[in-house]
């Protein structure tokens, strides 16, 4: 698929229907759009990165995608293989979570169960076992009894990814998972996401500022520039010519 | 030994103030449990203002005999239907204030603390203004404000037990939902949780707890139990279960110990409870610092 700007004009019909489609969506707050008429397609099993400058509407777009914010205009369409309602595994920016809550990492991970458990149902052994399994998958198995607020940035991110996995998501959506994290932890998080994508075929959409991380990990790039969302393969979207055009500089 | 004798005396079913002991103990256990959410949602100031607002609602109910709506309060205290009206007055004022504050917060204009502070001041002033011409009602309100937990009738106990049982059972059943929407509203929305509904239910429980507690033990004791035990629990709880258990435990023990001290030294029970909890908070902070070092 080549680079395209909204509206989408696909050259051919994909063999498998896309997992998520944004059709000329406008997103913002109180009915005032920050980003207007944006369209994109997320194929099942894709790993996509969402790029853009500060205030371009990246976080607003993914918050609207997962249902936190209402759309100003347009629509999202979701299609799962067996027709069930699409489940999001949303990983917010970790600074948005108040450290005043004395939650253990296991308690945080268990919140992922709430989407599938009816209100009033107690957490059983199977849910706890599953949460521990997801913590282990995320490399946070040894953190389960530690207070979440006392973890490092990288450790918190692993626990939040585990929590998203506990929900058994169709689409993992991460809001700047490597922001403010040291280089070693960044590498670990990137490796974790790559492994989840490769081994479990998980569809991932990740907001990220780090071009290096995006180049190494994702297959598709969605880039918001001057209020327009473009989508294309990573090699094309992050080519030198395109970067020069978008960043308005001459790369050495 | 004397302390133990006093404790055994007040726990004796034949003790003349057994209703007061029971109600204080219930308030001491349930208020901190619900207060956990006020601390976690950083609504401590609201925990101070709401009991005052609830007492304004009770003052409104006290003032009704003056308006000829209902019979006279007996010796400054309510009985039977009058008690129900007082409870409805306190609950009504609390819930309407919560609704108004929530709408204003959603609009995002002005200072939240400013609005809560204004409500607090207005509630205090209106309580006295409503009863300025009603000596019987004013006496009852002054008893409430002083934290005199002496004249607790059987119906007080029944209402308190019934309401707290409802609050306790609802909290226990929906603990994970309340915790989830309080900790990460965004993820709850992404998992299609009805966050507004859970918020409303939680604030209904907060309103009910405060209204019943204020009617039984007064606003000062209520906000003492709502806030101080959770603040102590927060220093030592390593997870939510420990936090809530420590808060309720400290509240219950303080209620009993405060009653013993007040009974032996002939002091008002409410202020003794709050002073004791204040000392425990200072002590726990000191212990925490020593342990951390």
pLDDT (tens digit, 9 = 90+) per residue, B237-271? 988 999 999 999 999 999 999 999 998 898 988 89
Range of the domain at A212: 1-86+170-252
Interface probe for A, chosen from B174, B179, B191, B198 (most Cβ of A below 10 Å), is: B191
Residue after which a domain boundary falls, among A125, A152, A169: A169
Positive or negative, the CA dihedral B23, B26, B29, B34 is negative
pLDDT, tens digit, for every residue of B156-181? 888 899 999 999 999 999 999 999 99
CATH number of the domain located at residue range(s) B2-292 in this protein: 1.10.3470.10
Mean pLDDT of chain B: 85
Residues A63, A3 within the same domain: yes
pLDDT value for A246: 74
| Measured distance CA(A230)–CA(A223) in Å, rounded | 5
In this prediction, residue A1 carries a pLDDT of: 46
For the cut 80, the answer to whether the pLDDT of residue B133 exceeds it is no
Residue A16, pLDDT score: 73
User: Do A133 and A13 fall within a single domain?
Assistant: no
Q: State whether A142 and A63 are in the same domain.
A: no
* pLDDT, tens only, B93-132: 999 998 888 787 777 667 888 888 999 999 989 888 887 7
Residue A89 has which token pair? 């595994």
Q: Are residues A213 and A135 in the same domain?
A: no
**A65 and A164 together in one domain:** no
pLDDT value, residue B291: 78
Domain boundary among A169, A204, A229: A169
Asked if A79 and A203 sit in the same domain, the reply is yes
Question: Tokens 């194929």 correspond to what residue?
Answer: A43
In chain B, whose CA is at the least distance from the CA of A70? B189
Low-confidence ranges of chain A (pLDDT < 50): 1, 252
Given A169, A185, A219, which residue is the final one in a domain? A169
A1 and A70 both lie in a single domain: yes
Interval B273-278 mean pLDDT: 95
Whether A65 and A79 map to the same domain: the answer is yes
Q: Give the CATH number, domain containing residue A8.
A: 3.40.50.300
Max Cα-Cα span within chain A: 60
Look at residue A4 in the predicted model and tell me its pLDDT. Answer: 54
B191:A68 CB<8 A = no
- Does A25 share its domain with A129? no
CA B240 to chain CA centroid, Å, is 21
Name the residue facing A120 among B174, B186, B240 (closest C-beta). B174
Q: Would you place residue B11 in the very low, low, confident or very high pLDDT band (cuts 50, 70, 90)?
A: confident
Cα–Cα–Cα angle for B289, B290, B293, nearest 5°? 85
Residue B232: which residues within 8 A CB-CB, separation 6 or more?
A: B246, B247, B250, B277, B280, B281, B284
Instruction: Give the pLDDT score at A123.
Output: 86
**A2 and A41 belong to one structural domain:** yes
* Complex prediction ipTM: 0.87
Count of A-B CB contacts under 8 Å = 79
Show which residues on chain B lie within 8 Å of chain A, measured between beta carbons.
Answer: 39-40, 42, 173-174, 176-177, 179-180, 182-184, 186-193, 234, 237-240, 242-243
The answer to whether B42 contacts A100, with C-beta atoms less than 8 Å apart, is yes
Say what the pLDDT of residue A33 is.
92
**Measured distance CA(B196)–CA(B198) in Å, rounded:** 6
Mean pLDDT of chain A: 88
pLDDT score for A5: 54
Contact A219, A233 (CB under 8 A): yes
Tell me which residue in A68, A102, A111 faces B180 most closely, judged by beta carbons. Answer: A111
Backbone angles phi, psi at A52, to 5 degrees: 160, 160
Q: Are residues A185 and A61 in the same domain?
A: yes
The more confident residue out of B78 and B37 is B37
Q: What is the rounded CA–CA span in Å between residue B31 and residue B33? A: 5
- pLDDT, tens digit, for every residue of A144-167? 999 999 999 999 999 999 999 999
Q: What is the pLDDT of residue B110?
A: 73
Residue B237 backbone zone (phi > 0: left; psi -120 to 50: alpha; other: beta): beta
Q: Look at B74 and B112; give whichever has higher pLDDT.
A: B112
pLDDT of residue B140: 66
A35-39, B66-70, B200-204: range with lowest mean pLDDT: B66-70
Task: Say if residue A177 is in the same domain as residue A57.
Answer: yes
* Total of domains in chain A: 2
Tell me, what's the pLDDT at B69? 54
Phi and psi, residue A78, nearest 5°: -120, 145
């Amino acid at each position: 698929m080549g680079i395209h700007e909204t509206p989408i004009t696909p050259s051919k019909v994909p063999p498998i229907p896309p997992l998520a489609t944004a059709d000329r969506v406008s997103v913002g707050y109180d009915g005032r759009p920050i980003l207007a008429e944006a369209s994109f397609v997320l194929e099942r099993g894709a790993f996509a990165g969402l790029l853009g400058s500060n205030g371009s509407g990246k976080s607003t777009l993914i918050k609207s995608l997962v249902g936190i914010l209402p759309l100003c205009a347009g629509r999202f369409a979701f299609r799962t293989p067996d027709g069930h309602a699409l489940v999001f595994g949303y990983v917010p920016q970790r600074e948005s979570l108040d450290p005043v809550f004395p939650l253990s990492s296991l308690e945080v991970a268990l919140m992922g169960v709430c989407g599938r458990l009816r209100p009033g149902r107690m957490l059983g052994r199977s849910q706890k076992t599953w949460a521990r399994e997801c913590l282990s998958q995320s490399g946070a198995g040894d953190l389960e009894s530690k207070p979440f607020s006392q973890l490092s940035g990288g450790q918190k991110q692993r626990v939040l990814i585990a929590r998203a996995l506990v929900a058994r998501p169709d689409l993992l959506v991460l809001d700047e998972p490597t922001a403010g994290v040291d280089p070693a932890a960044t590498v670990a998080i990137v490796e974790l996401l790559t492994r989840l994508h490769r081994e479990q075929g998980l569809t991932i959409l990740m907001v990220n500022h780090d071009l290096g991380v995006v180049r190494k990990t994702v297959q598709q790039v969605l880039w918001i520039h001057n209020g327009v969302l473009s989508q294309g393969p990573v090699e094309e979207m992050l080519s030198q010519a395109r970067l020069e055009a978008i960043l308005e500089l001459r790369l050495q | 030994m004397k302390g133990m004798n006093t404790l055994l005396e007040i726990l004796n079913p034949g003790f003349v103030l057994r209703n007061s002991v029971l109600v204080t103990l219930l308030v001491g256990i349930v208020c901190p449990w619900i207060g956990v959410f006020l601390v976690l949602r950083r609504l401590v100031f609201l925990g101070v203002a709401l009991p005052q607002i609830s007492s304004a609602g009770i003052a409104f109910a006290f003032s009704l005999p003056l308006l000829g709506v209902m019979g006279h309060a007996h010796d400054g205290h309510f009985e039977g239907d009058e008690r129900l009206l007082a409870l409805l007055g306190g609950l009504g004022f609390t819930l309407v204030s919560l609704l108004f504050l929530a709408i204003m917060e959603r609009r995002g204009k002005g200072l939240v603390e400013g609005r809560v502070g204004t409500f607090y001041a207005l509630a205090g002033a209106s309580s006295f203004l409503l009863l300025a011409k009603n000596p019987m009602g004013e006496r009852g309100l002054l008893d409430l404000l002083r934290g005199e937990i002496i004249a607790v009738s059987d119906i007080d106990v029944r209402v308190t037990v019934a309401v707290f049982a409802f609050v306790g059972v609802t909290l226990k059943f929906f603990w994970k939902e309340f915790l989830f929407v309080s900790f990460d509203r965004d993820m709850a929305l992404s998992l299609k949780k009805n966050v507004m509904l859970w918020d409303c239910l939680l604030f209904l429980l907060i309103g009910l707890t405060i209204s019943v507690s204020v009617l039984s033990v007064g606003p000062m004791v209520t906000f003492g139990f709502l806030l101080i035990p959770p603040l102590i629990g927060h220093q030592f709880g390593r997870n939510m279960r420990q936090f809530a258990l420590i808060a309720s435990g400290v509240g219950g023990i303080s209620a009993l110990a405060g009653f013993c001290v007040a009974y032996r030294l002939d002091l008002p029970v409410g202020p003794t409870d709050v002073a004791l909890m204040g000392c425990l908070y200072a002590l726990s902070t000191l212990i925490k610092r020593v342990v951390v070092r």
